[in-house]
Structure 1
Amino acid sequence: MSACLLSLAKTRLSPDRAASPQFADGRFRNPDPRPATGLRKLLRIIADALWNKPADAVPAAVPPVLALTPQQLAQAPDRSLFRLGHSTVLIKLRGGWWITDPVFAERASPVQWLGPKRFHAPPIALADLPPLRGVILSHDHFDHLDYATVLALAKTADVFLTPLGVGDRLIGWGVAPAKVRQFDWWQGTQIDGVRFIATPAQHFSGRGLFDGDATLWASWTILDEPDDGPSLRLFFSGDTGYFDGFRQIGHRYGPFDVTLMETGAYNENWPHVHMQPEQTVRAHRDLRGRWLLPIHNGTFDLAMHAWTEPFERVSALAAGQGVALTTPRMGERVDLNDPQPTAPWWRELGFPESAHAAHLANER
């Protein structure tokens, strides 16, 4: 058994969980309970993934990645954002670097010899990252919380911001307790003048057979509002289905300048935990977002759709609804003060027929 799995047995949840409105009967829960999957449906989903996976779920060649160097990051101005893959985003605020859901492993899996494999290498090696002011975690699934990456970052990162219970998991892995801060929904902290608030999401958690929903999941609101300059409001969705909470978050903290929104790994079999692109755009509008930056795509094969489909569908929807959209390459800089539209880089590897059909259907 791996050290990762062994550490699960040592993890203990914070006593704060008992006071959480999201916690009952030993588990965290969504405001609207998700339907039980059922054994038959679960087996059908697994069978489809094993034997009915379409060929275009994986790119025919390595997607384009812009390599990053430590020198480039050192010279990057404040409010720079770089997509590193999936939901891993590097952001510079007030001179400090923050990273979301960092996964640098070859596979999003409890083991590195089996499971969803990366389509591309990260634009920068883990060892070449600058010292981080902090790590922002949304939940504990393997494609968002990577054991080896966390242990490497624990040596240089100042702080880890997590939902309830995820921080205890990190401490069980050996992260210094003084570096870990964990929050319930609507709780947060201020660091270097930037506010970080854990906000609701519609999802679930767990890394093994017996720890389902033992830790909380969250989205994050990030507010950089200096007294002597323009404000910046960011929203990071983590993983989530569509729910009424987006409107509430938008009412409390919007309008958001940029929303980093889950757009990928969706399927009709799990609508309560991952959004379809139509719901992504709807959630962005609920949040009163200005620029939409889709994440949770382009790196791992986690669903049945063509790997390009999330980009095509959300691009067509955004164009049809007048939503400002930016879809940077992995490693491409986004100026959060002035985002710009980007080229459809995923088409450089061809345009699979299934994705083309979805694209046309959404343009009608």
Structure 2
Amino acid sequence: MKRNIAIGIGVIVMAAAGYKFTSSNNVEGKFVNTDTSYETGAANIWEITKAYVKANRVTPTPSTQIPVLPVTAKQLAEEHDAMFRLGHSTILMRLDGKLILTDPVLSERASPVQWAGPKRFHESPISGEDLPEIDVVVISHDHYDHLDKDAIKLLDGKVKQFLTPLKVGQRMIEWGVSPDKVVEMDWWDEISVAGIKFVATPAQHFSGRGVFDRDQTLWASWVIQSKQRNLFFSGDSGYFKGFKEIGEKFGPFDVTMVETGAYNELWSDIHMMPEGSMQAHLDLTGSHMMPIHNGTFDLSLHDWYEPFERVLSLAKENDVTLLTPKFGQEITLDNIPQTSLWWREVEGEKTWEEGKIAQNTLSFN
């Protein structure tokens, strides 16, 4: 049952140390998906290992520098509704004059250590030090490419409110964030902060930051509604029927920010293939689709630009308006620009053949 959470009660009760959470999505101490159970058993790990050994990617990382447009304090001080893609799944939004930031990852690597692990292809268009006061930070789940400990600690003094799925906020409190700034939410919970409505909606994924904490925190997608805008942020998810339910409850959406990257058939239950991403957008009854979770880190077996090419082809097939800004490019929501094919410029003279990008279907015969 949907629960409307008053911010004062939510802050005091839901973030309080020792609070015993109850959730229909928690079974025997672990959070679960509604449509499928994703387990990484020995057989699955072996198949993934073989895939990485046999992978023959031509361009796993950009051939030349990715264009990044600096985001300035002057831009952020303006009043019109706008969006800036800072990288991966990090989106800075200004709605009704309020600044909202999703999954802030500003470190050089998406990893528990900064001397190893997936390294950024590009710098953030604005540093954490230069970001102004943020009204709300929204977190989708606790994986390292979405929950950056150093970024959270750096931004803590600038953020008025953190919204997280259940148990994720507790991690941030352990890092030093004040409990009265954290609200943890279950699926379908709603809250209004600074006049903006946020709904934690289902996703099909998993969680954990170590060997022994699998699925002990919840994962979520988010609906973000202002007076004039209705936006959707997918976080990480496999394709599932929940997108249609979200669309029926809260659509249509002006912009859907949908995961389109770091996919493979071997783990498509938790990371949508491009076809699933497009279907999710259609199920959500979205107008413009912004593919996210791409272009910043090498997290899969596909070439770095493949997600853009595949979703571009699908957008044309389905008559969907695609939104692919350069990192840092301002997207004015009253006048959304046409699709930019900036990734083709990065790869120079490469021959682009729509619909003929490698499909990552691997044979192990």
Taking structure 2 as the reference length, the TM-score comes to 0.90
Q: Structure 1 353/278 Cα, relative in aligned 2: closer, same or farther at 3 Å?
A: farther
Q: Which runs of 5+ in 1 are unaligned?
A: 1-10, 226-230
User: Which residue in the other structure is 2:48 paired with?
Assistant: 45
CA distance in 2, matches of 1:205, 1:356: 37
In the alignment, what sits opposite 2:191?
189
Q: Is the 8 A contact 1:13 1:215 kept in 2?
A: no
Matches within 5 A, 1:246-261: 246-261=243-258
Query: RMSD across aligned C-alpha pairs, in angstroms?
Result: 2.1
Report SS of the residue matched to 1:68: coil
Alignment of 1:73 onto 2:80 = no
Match of 1:131 in 2: 133
Instruction: Return the match for 1:158 from 154, 157, 160.
Output: 160
Among 127, 146, 150, the alignment partner of 2:148 is 146
Cα deviation, 1:162-185, whole Å, max 9, x if unaligned, reads 000001111111100000001000
Question: Deviating runs (4+, > 3 A) in structure 1?
Answer: 11-16, 46-53, 351-362
CA offsets, 1:120-158, max 9 Å, x none? Answer: 000111100111011000000000000000001111100
Q: Cα gap change, 1:311/1:84 in structure 2, threshold over 3 Å: closer, same or farther?
A: same
Match of 1:3 in 2: none
Contact 1:165 1:216 in 2 (8 A): yes
- Contact 2:83 2:330 (8 Å CA) reproduced: yes
Corresponding residue for residue 87 of structure 2 = 85
Shift of 1:198: 0.2
Q: Are residues 1:263 and 2:253 paired?
A: no
Residues 16 and 294 of structure 1: is their aligned pair in 2 closer, same or farther, counting only changes over 3 Å? farther
Of 216, 221, 224, which aligns to 1:222?
224
Equivalent of 1:311, from 289, 302, 308? Answer: 308
1:276 aligns with 2:273: yes
Give the C-alpha shift of residue 192 in structure 1.
Answer: 1.8
Q: Which amino acid in the other structure matches residue 39 of structure 2?
A: A
- Cross-structure match for 1:105: 107
Letter in structure 2 aligned against 1:339: I
Q: Which of the pair is proportionally richer in helix?
A: 1
Instruction: Return the offset for 1:104.
Output: 0.4
8 Å Cα contact 1:204/1:212 also seen in 2: yes
Aligned to 2:332: 335
Q: Distance in 2 between matches of 1:361 and 1:153?
A: 39
In structure 2, do the counterparts of structure 1 residues 307 and 354 end up closer, same or farther at CA, with 3 Å as the change threshold?
farther
Structure 1 counterpart of 2:37, one-letter code: R
Inter-partner Cα distance in structure 2 for 1:14 and 1:184: 17
User: Residues of 1 paired with 2:179 and 2:38: CA distance?
Assistant: 36
Give per-residue Cα distances to partners, 1:28-52, cap 9 Å, x unaligned.
Answer: 0001232423213314424544673
> Is residue 23–residue 29 contact of structure 1 (8 Å, CA) maintained in 2?
yes
Structure 1 residue 60: Cα displacement:
1.2
**Partner SS, residue 135 of structure 1:** strand
Corresponding residue number in structure 2 for 1:57: 60
The answer as to whether partners of 1:134 and 1:158 remain within 8 angstroms in 2 is: yes
Contact 2:135–2:194 (CA under 8 A) maintained in structure 1: no
Larger mean Cα displacement after TM superposition, 341-350 or 299-308: 341-350
More displaced, 335-344 or 214-223? 335-344
- Say whether the 8 Å CA contact 1:140–1:215 is kept in structure 2: yes
Q: CA deviation at 1:354?
A: 10
Q: Does the residue aligned with 2:37 lie in a helix, a strand or coil? A: coil
Distance 1:294 1:308, change over 3 A: same
Aligned residue number for residue 29 of structure 2: 26
Q: TM-score, normalised by structure 1?
A: 0.90
Tell which deviates more after alignment, 59-68 or 286-295: 59-68
Distance 1:60 1:51 in 2: 22
Cα shift readout 1:322-347 (whole Å, capped 9, x = no counterpart) = 11111000000111233221220000
- In the alignment, residue 293 of structure 1 is paired with which amino acid? M
User: Which amino acid is 2:212 matched to?
Assistant: F
CA–CA separation in structure 2 for the residues paired with 1:357 and 1:302: 23
Task: Assess if the C-alpha contact under 8 Å between 1:14 and 1:164 holds in 2.
Answer: no
Does structure 2 retain, via aligned residues, the 8 Å contact 1:309–1:358?
no
The number of equivalent residue pairs is 345
In structure 1, the residue matched to 2:213 is: 211
Quote the Cα distance in structure 2 between the aligned partners of 1:238 and 1:101.
8
Q: In the alignment, which residue of structure 2 is the partner of 1:4?
A: none
**Cα-to-partner distance string for 1:209-255 (whole Å, 9 max, x where unaligned):** 00000000000001112xxxxx2100000000000000100000000
Indicate the SS of the match to 2:267.
coil
- The secondary structure found in structure 1 opposite 2:295 is coil
Distance in 2 (CA, whole Å) between partners of 1:50 and 1:277 is 23
* CA shift digits 1:292-311 (9 cap, x unpaired): 01110000000000111100
Equivalent residues of 1:264, 1:295 under 8 A apart: yes
Question: How far apart are the structure 1 equivalents of 2:189 and 2:262?
Answer: 28
Tell me the distance in 2 between the aligned counterparts of 1:249 and 1:187.
13
